[in-house]
Amino acid sequence: MHTAIVGVIAGLAIAQVAILITTIYLHRSLSHKAVTFDRRIALFFRFLLWITTGIRPRQWVAVHRKHHAFTDIPGDPHSPVVLGFYKVQFGNVYYYRKEALRSETVAKYAKDLQPDRWDEILFDHSLVGLAIGISILILVGGWRLALVASIVHIVAYLGLSGAINAVGHSFGKRPYDNLATNNTWLALMTFGEGLHNNHHAAPTAAKLSFDSKEIDLAWPIISLLVRLHLATVRLSAPKFKRQPAR
C-alpha cells in the first residue's frame, strides 16, 4: 500500500485515539468526575495524550470548567455565540491556548489537580511528548509516513475539537433547555461528544447518550473498564424529561 495512504489511515487512527482519551479521561473523568479510572489506566491515558497532543490536563480541565461556568456568555473561552462560528471552528486552538496559558484560570478552575511527579518528569514537557510520538512514527514507518500521519492527525483532531465547540453550540437539535446542540454525525466521529446538548443538560453523566436512538461510542469502552474493575462510574445517565430550549 502506498505510503501516503498508510499515513492518512495512521493519522486518522491516532486522531481517534486522542479524541477517545480526551472525552473519557480529560472530559468525563478529570473535568466532571463522572467516572474514575484505576490509577494505572489513568497513567496510560496520560501517556498516550502526552505523545499524541501534548495537552497538559490541568490546563484543559480549567478551560473546560470555565466554559461551563460562562456558557455562551462573555467569559466563555470559546463560544461561537460570543466570538462567531468561524472564529471558533477554525481558531479553536488559539482561543484554547489563550485561556490555558492564564495562570489565574488554571489556579481557579483546576485547583483540585495539583502537579505530581509524573507531571514534573514527563507530562508538563509537551514538546518532548510530541517529539517522542513523532519519533515512534518515524521508527515504525519512516519519515514520509510520519509526516503525512502527523499532518492528518493535526487537521482531524483540531478540526473535530473545533466542531465540538462551534457546531455543538450552533447547529443541531436541542432536546434540553440549553444552547448546546446534539449532532449525530459529530457524535459518531467524536465518541459521543457531538451529543453536546445532552452533556450541558447533565455535565456529571458519564454516558452522553440518553435514549436508544443516540450513540455514544465511548460508553461501551467505559462499561468494559467498569466490568474489569478498572473504572467506577458516578452517574451513568440522568432520568428526566426532555425540555426543548426556548
Please indicate, yes or no, if residue 242 is contained in any of the structural domains: no
Please indicate, yes or no, if residue 240 is contained in any of the structural domains: no
Give kind and range of the element (H or E) at residue 228.
Answer: none
Task: Name the residue range of residue 39's domain.
Answer: 3-233
Please indicate, yes or no, if residue 46 is contained in any of the structural domains: yes
Q: Quick one: pLDDT at residue 242?
A: 58
Cβ(54)–Cβ(100) under 8 Å?
no
What is the rounded CA–CA span in Å between residue 27 and residue 151?
A: 24
The dihedral region occupied by 8, where left means phi > 0, alpha psi between -120 and 50, and beta the remainder, is alpha
pLDDT in tens, 122-151: 999 999 999 999 999 999 999 999 999 999
Q: Can you give the C-alpha Rg of the chain in angstroms?
A: 18
Q: Quick one: pLDDT at residue 241?
A: 57
Name the least confident of 44-48, 128-132, 203-207, 240-244.
240-244
Q: Quick one: pLDDT at residue 3?
A: 83
Cβ(85)–Cβ(170) under 8 Å?
yes
Please indicate, yes or no, if residue 229 is contained in any of the structural domains: yes
What is the rounded CA–CA span in Å between residue 40 and residue 165?
A: 30
- Number of domains the chain is built from: 1
Indicate the DSSP class of residue 229: T
All three cell numbers of 7:
499515513
Phi, psi of 190 (to 5 degrees): -130, 25
Please indicate, yes or no, if residue 141 is contained in any of the structural domains: yes
Q: Quick one: pLDDT at residue 152?
A: 98
Please indicate, yes or no, if residue 183 is contained in any of the structural domains: yes
pLDDT in tens, 148-173: 999 999 999 999 999 999 999 999 99
Q: Quick one: pLDDT at residue 2?
A: 83
Q: Quick one: pLDDT at residue 243?
A: 59
Mean pLDDT in residue range 102-131: 95
Q: Quick one: pLDDT at residue 4?
A: 87
Please indicate, yes or no, if residue 239 is contained in any of the structural domains: no
